Amino acid sequence: MSRLSSLQYDILTTLLVRRPLSTTRLVGLFPGCADALAELVELELVRERGEGVWAIAAEGVLVLVLAIRAGRLSAPAWPESLDWLASLLSPVMAIPANLPHTLLELLEVPQAMQLLAGSSSDWQLLMIDYWSAMALLEGHAPEIDSALLDASASARLALWQSEAQWWLGNAPSLGHWDAFSRLWQPEQLSLEGVLTIGQSQPADVIFSTLVWLGIVQQHDPALAARERKNLLRSCRHQAALADALRQWDGERHSVGLFEMLQLPADEVFWGHLWIDLCALSRHGDSSAALQTLRRWSLDEWLDSAPRHRLMALCQDLLRLLVGRPVVHGPLAGLETWQDDEEPAKPAGWLNWLQGLGRSANAGKIKERLIWGLQADGPLLECRIQKLGVKGEWTAGRRIDVALVATQFPTLLDEQDWALLKQYGKESRDWSHAFWSQLAAHPRLFNHQGQRLQLALTQPLLYLGATGEIKLYPEVSDAARIVPLTSDLWQVVRLPETLAELLPPERHCEPAALPALAARLGEMADVHWCAELASLGGNARLAPWPGQPGVQLDWRKGELTLSFVTLGEGTPNLPLAHGDAVVRQDVRSADYWQRDLLAEREAWRDMCGRLGLDTLQLSWRLEEAPALEFLSQLPHWVALGIHIYWHEESQRLRSLDEATLSLRIEQRQEWFALEGSVALDEHQVLDLRLLLRQFRPGQKTVLLDEQTSVIISDKLSERLTLLGAMLDEEQRISRRLAYPLMRLLGAISTEGDDAWHHLEQEWQQKIECPAELMAGLRDYQRDGVNWMATLAQHGFGACLADDMGLGKTLQALTVLRLRASQGPALVVVPKSVLTNWQEEAQRFAPELEVVTLDQAYGCAQRIRDARAGQLVLINYGLLPSLSEALKTVTWTSLVIDEAQQIKNAGTQRAKILTQLDGQFRLALSGTPVENHLGELWSLFAFINPGMLGSQRDFKRRFGRASREPQHMAMLRSVIHPFVLRRLKQEVLAELPEKTEIVHHINLSQAERELYEATRREVVQQIQSSDGRTLMHVLSGLTRLRRLCCSPSLVLPEWQESCSKLDEAMSLLEEAIDGGHRVLVFSQFVDLLTLLRGRLQQRGWDYCYLDGACSMKERQQAIARFREQAVPLFLISLKAGGTGLNLTQADTVLHLDPWWNPAVEDQASDRAHRMGQTQPVTVYRLVCEQTVEEKIVALHSEKRALADSLLSGQSEAGPLDLESLRNLLMS
């Protein structure tokens, strides 16, 4: 290893002293250490202890120690917690009270013997004991250079080498414990004799002590347990021996024991084996491993001549455990205990005999072992399956066949044990007996999880006229598997007599054919035939009777197409694949001859007819393509393609809306609905069962384990609607009956008189007078007729047309239509009050507009409202005028910018729902901005009770923003009452709108201020329990304002402002190009800063914010419309809605707002009906700030509205956690 740098030594020392550190901490301590750390990891001196956390490895400790000893590194000042390492490195070393784990790891490093040179005597003794004990446990003598040792360590090494020569060699005696040799004398020793020998053992624990303890274990387990505890206290500094003594506890021994019993003698760790056997004897009948051991094939292992004493002792203890006679001295006499008057009794530690007949799986089986066979190879695997809560077996986890008997013996039954006794690791070693056991096994499966049947057979021998010899199928020494069907396989094996007879080159001289045929005729177990009839043969060949075709297998929404050849009484074979000769029956000598070339031509022909461009045996189709294929089955049959169904395939029925029949009857305020679906002429399915299984958007429904139905798109729509409207008792409220009737369409429906009366009434459409519709576009006429029809039937409506499509004009037309029936009330934001006055004067001059702009003196004017009047008020007056408004029955009740009541708990929303309105109309280009609760509030106004209570709505549709099927159900309910058209759909002449996100780089000073502020905000949130929404929103607002201009947060800021600088550049470019610009911001003080810059440049502009009076507002709008003022600065709240400013062709958003719909509304002040120029919308966004993340969230917000109103996609509301995440980076 090359010498490390001082930085790398510092890293190693730090990791040793401070223990594991993260990458961040290391970089903080050692800047620029990434490369040095990477090299330490590559050298395996440092290891990863979790993601981005590093710790020193044992090899790293060794490198530090050797570097200090070599003088390349000064010994650090170790803390008290590491006094053991300080001792290790000090000139005079003392053995620590306890050996730390790191030191044990250090001693296991291959280069650790370099520590011997220069270590104190105590440490040399510690190392000698550890390495020598490990060597004997592994079954070999210690290999340590005595030249590195002092006198006491050399003497200690000599003792261990003497141990090795006695146990693993042929030494005549054990010099340091001579009495131990008596255990190998012929006479049997009593327990007292064994204990006497133990009293003479050396003071220090050595390997022989473990052997002696194991012998005591067999005489008296309780005494051995006490002795073991004493020994553990005596050898606390001998880690290897202490660890071996601890192996007596637990059952960790079983895995290593059975692994070693499969190894050749020269690879066995004899010391560890002795410990494992002793531990096993201690556990007695409590260990399942004992039962496994008694079933294990041990003859070869026990009959082997012992190579040394330790092997002989292990063999004897193994014999004792399985009830066989002991051969050698130390354990002789322990295998039987006879009494003249009583039957033989086992020792207490061998008491498992009474439990061998007990079932380990008493009660219901919840776990089982299965066998899986793969044809290629062949390969055999086993898996352990668990029984699921639904009574189905899991796929199971794979277990090594060689280890299953040792690790899971309680799962094995007699058939498993019989199979394991015949099992060989290589398939060529699998005998006929093994295959017979496997074929008879009840839990044999293929790789697809199907139960597998095996038929044992042999190949057909064919003699050609010119001397060629062929086998059908071709088979070598190992068995070959020929799948006849997915769950029926032939196992073809070459009979031994035939294998000996066949020449290696599979050919003989034609003159020798008669002699070979005569020999074959004498072999009754061989099937053969010959091209020359004169030679004879006992096998019969017939043409293959199967027909090429396509087999279909439909399971769990997936269709598998397989090209097969199949006939009556034949197996299902893959087309043009496999063997040309197929045995008809394993009990006969009859065979079929296939024409593989003809099958390939048929395969190619079918692929062409089906439109498949490649020759592929099997195709998998997911649900949509699969259903498309199945719908054309009659066409494929007409083309002459044979269709076969897999025997385990689910059966498919096709259902469309014509198969659905309904019966509707009135029950007080409800309608009761019953229905059925006709599966065929004889089978009818109850609608309740179908709805219980159906999920919106599903193409197929599983009725039972063997039957699925294909649902047509039309029927799927009908079932989705029914699922949304019916309650658990299959009832529907009277208000929901209207959307039900509208969407039932061609369904066969029977109803009582009440239902038929409603049907006739609701099917009548209102056609407005032509003079009333004059000047309207076609889509606007459609909107007016739609609203008038709903009003006639007693329902409210929401006109949700895109901004700029004339919602006000369409609403005024409906008000004109209904003016003679009574007064109308229109509630609008204050910002659009003037616009409504102007539009009414222009398009509905016959209506008397009563504008209420203050509460004082208006109550009586409201009570006096009459037919032909349109009372116009703003939302702000609702609380003060609510009592007066409630006294009037309003023929038409209209709210503009209906998102003003999106929160059902607000005072204005509660007041509006309490007003008496015969026809309720909501106008909004964005009826849903953030979450579906806004939709409930809207419908509570236009159609009270239709969506149930808020609790009912959340229960039935609360997941609609996340799950498409629930969104489909909700959309089917609201669809008849919400009308939305987009500009690109109905205004082909509208100019293009281009939207550009203009990115801005903050200056270095701004960036540092932003990051400091962000960290401060995060710290404040964390210290004040950041779950509080107020803290999060406050912090986000600070960051957003800082992006706009640092002076909005720090008034003393004197440096430049990147966003305003960029805004001025864009405005200058626009003015120079002759464009007129609307500039929006939600921060009035940002507009104030911009106004100051405009005034410095002398640029003319108009201005509007919430502080402007109504007169100032009207003057600003009129001035921009009538004069060539290039700029109009508008606060988002004051002018984002209700304005018609088509004179502008450019829109500039200085800062992004949370809700993209608000921004879109503002942009559409210019991009709306009447605009003749292309419109460009700029959004100024600072890079790597919260602004970028807000813009990214816009797509999610838009998706929620789109999914509800147009069914395109889905998205969820912005939650607190999402807001917090905006601050995290």
Q: Determine the pLDDT at residue 66.
A: 75
Contact 1084, 1117 (CB under 8 A): no
Counting Cα atoms < 13 Å in the Cβ hemisphere of 799 gives 30
Whether the ω angle into residue 473 lies within 30 degrees of 0, i.e. cis, is yes
The size of the chain, in residues, is 1225
Amino acid identity of residue 735, one-letter, is R
Going from the C-alpha of 511 to that of each of 303, 463, 516, 517, 535, the distances in angstroms are 53, 12, 10, 11, 12
What is residue 250's predicted lDDT score, i.e. its pLDDT? 54
Residue 437 tokens, joined: 């056991």
CA end-to-end span of the chain:
42
Q: What's the pLDDT tens digit per position in 1182-1220? A: 988 988 888 877 666 555 555 555 543 333 344 556 666
The contacts of residue 1118 (CB under 8 Å, 6+ apart) are none
Closest CA to 734 of 904, 943, 940: 943
Each residue's pLDDT tens digit, 11-41: 888 887 767 888 878 877 888 888 888 888 8
Identify the pLDDT of residue 343. 35
* Whole-number pLDDT of residue 1196: 62
Evaluate whether 891 touches 826 at the Cβ level (below 8 Å). no
Give, as one character, the DSSP assignment of residue 482. E
Percent of the chain exceeding pLDDT 70 equals: 87
Percent of the chain having pLDDT more than 90? 23
SS3 annotation, 502-522: CCCCCECCHHHHHHHHHHHHC
* C-alpha to C-alpha distance for 841 and 826, rounded to whole angstroms: 15
pLDDT at 1025 over 80: no
The DSSP letter of residue 468 is: B
Q: Please give the single-letter amino acid code of residue 66.
A: L
Does 173 or 1071 have the greater pLDDT score? 1071
CB under 8 Å to 630, separation ≥6 — which residues?
552, 554, 559, 652, 654, 710
Distance of CA 1033 to the CA centre of its chain: 32
- Higher-confidence residue: 760 or 1144? 1144
**Which of the given ranges, 282-296, 672-686, 912-926, 1204-1218, has the highest pLDDT on average?**
912-926
Phi, then psi, of 709 in degrees rounded to 5: -125, 145
Q: Which of 632, 633, 575 shows the shortest CA–CA distance to 605?
A: 575
Higher confidence at residue 1162 or residue 97?
Answer: 1162
Among 149-158, 493-502, 690-699, 808-817, the range scoring the smallest mean pLDDT is 690-699
pLDDT digits (tens, 9 = 90+) for 663-687: 888 777 788 888 888 877 777 878 7
908-922, 924-938, 1078-1092 — which is least confidently predicted? 924-938
Work out whether the CA dihedral 304, 305, 307, 310 comes out positive or negative.
Answer: positive
Per-residue pLDDT averaged across 226-234, rounded? Answer: 82
Going from the C-alpha of 353 to that of each of 294, 345, 358, 363, 455, the distances in angstroms are 11, 10, 10, 22, 39
Q: Are strands 618-621 and 700-704 parallel, antiparallel or unpaired?
A: unpaired
Residue at token pair 């009840």: 442
Outline where DSSP puts E strands in 1019-1121. 1077-1081, 1101-1104
Return the HEC string of 202-214.
Answer: CCCCCHHHHHHHH
Q: Reduced to 3 states, what is the DSSP secondary structure of residue 781? A: helix
pLDDT for residue 251 is more than 90? no
pTM for this entry: 0.44
Q: Which two three-digit tokens encode residue 1186?
A: 């919260």
For β-strands 670-678 and 684-686, DSSP reports them as: antiparallel
Average pLDDT, the chain: 81
Q: In what order do the strands lie in the sheet with 469-472?
A: 469-472, 460-463, 527-530
Rounded distance between C-alpha atoms, residue 715 and residue 547, angstroms = 38
Give CA–CA dist 415/371, Å, rounded. 11
Six token digits for residue 310:
């330790």
Task: Give the C-alpha separation, 370 to 368, whole Å.
Answer: 7
Of 346-360, 520-534, 847-861, 938-952, minimum mean pLDDT range: 346-360
Looking at residue 886, what is its pLDDT? 94
| Cβ 539 vs Cβ 524: under 8 Å | no
Q: Are 1070 and 1146 in contact (CB under 8 A)?
A: yes
What confidence tens digit (pLDDT) does each residue in 404-445 have? 877 787 788 888 888 887 887 677 778 888 898 999 999 999
Rg of the chain in Å (alpha carbons): 46
* Residues 126 and 96: beta-carbon distance below 8 Å: no
**Which residue in the block uniquely carries the two structure tokens 């919430």?**
1106
Q: 763-792, pLDDT tens digit by residue?
A: 777 778 888 888 898 899 999 999 999 998
Q: Which residues pair with 528 in a beta bridge?
A: 461
Task: Yes or no: say if 629 and 560 are a contact pair by the CB < 8 Å rule.
Answer: no
Sheet containing strand 21-22, strands side by side: 21-22, 53-56, 46-48
SS3 479: coil
Distances in whole angstroms, Cα of residue 94 to Cα of each of 115, 409, 759: 15, 49, 102
Instruction: Give the CA distances from residue 160 to residues 107, 141, 155, 174, 228, in Å, rounded to whole numbers and listed in that order.
Output: 18, 8, 9, 11, 21
Phi-psi region of 333 (alpha: psi -120 to 50; beta: other; left: phi over 0): left
Judging by beta carbons within 10 Å of its beta carbon (0-12, 13-18, 19+), is residue 247 exposed, middle or buried? Answer: middle
Report the amino acid identity of residue 37.
Answer: L
Structural domains of the chain, ranges and CATH numbers in brackets: 1-115 (1.10.10), 367-445 (no CATH), 660-693+710-761 (no CATH), 766-986 (3.40.50.10810), 993-1221 (3.40.50.300)
Number of C-beta neighbours around residue 90 at 10 A: 13
Q: 406-418 burial by CB neighbour count: b if 16+ within 10 A, else e? A: bbbbebbbebbeb
**Cα–Cα distance measured from residue 1004 to residue 1046, given in angstroms and rounded to the nearest whole number:** 13
- Between 739 and 1217, name the one with better pLDDT: 739
* Whole-angstrom distance, CA of residue 275 vs CA of residue 238: 16
* Cis omega (within 30 of 0) for bond into 306: no
Q: What is the pLDDT of residue 118?
A: 66
200 DSSP 8-state letter: T
pLDDT at position 400, please? 85
Closest C-alpha to 535, from 515, 552, 549: 515
CB 887 within 8 Å of CB 863:
yes
Predicted confidence (pLDDT) at residue 708 exceeds the cutoff of 80: no
Q: Greatest CA span in the chain, whole angstroms?
A: 132
Q: Between the ranges 114-128, 191-205, 1090-1104, where is the mean pLDDT highest?
A: 1090-1104
- Give the dihedral of Cα atoms 808, 814, 818, 820; nearest 10 deg: 60
Distance CA 1209, CA 967 (A): 9
Dihedral sign for Cα 738, 739, 742, 748, please. Answer: negative
Higher-pLDDT residue of 385 and 733 is: 385
Whether the predicted pLDDT of 517 surpasses 80: yes
Q: Averaged over 322-343, what is the pLDDT?
A: 60
Query: Which tokens go with 1007?
Result: 């960036």
Angle at 465 between CA 462 and CA 471, to 5 degrees: 15
CA distance readout (Å), 919 to 342, 719, 849, 887, 949: 104, 30, 19, 16, 21
